[in-house]
Amino acid sequence: MLRITLQEEPKVLILKLEGRIADESLQEFESTWQKASRSLGLRTLCLDIRGVTFISAEGRQLLARIHSESHNEFRANTPLTTFLAEEAKRHRNSQDQKRM
């Protein structure tokens, strides 16, 4: 089960994820991201993944794609969530190097 909360602030849109990102919840996450991306405007996106307890390979790919598209910030506080944030950032950096 995945709980998704949107917190809108003047300069940042926080997408808080808690629980498991897999199967049906993956579709919900992507749908929420698509809606949020349309309302971002000049705000920064922050993915708060501190409450993520499990993520599938497809979920990791989605995190990397979101980071690639939005250059978002991450909030992470456990070995798992820190690893996921760093992995998404590395994926973006490798994509940027391929374009050069």
In angstroms, the Cα distances linking 31 to 54, 64, 66, 97 are: 19, 16, 12, 29
3 state SS of 12: strand
> Residues 50-91: pLDDT tens digits?
999 999 999 999 999 999 999 999 999 999 999 999 999 997
What mean pLDDT comes out for the span 28-43? 93
> Residues 4-15: pLDDT tens digits?
999 999 999 999
For residue 57, the enclosing domain spans 2-99
In the chain, how many domains are there? Answer: 1
> In the numeric block, which tokens belong to residue 99?
């374009």
CATH of residue 74's domain is 3.30.750.24
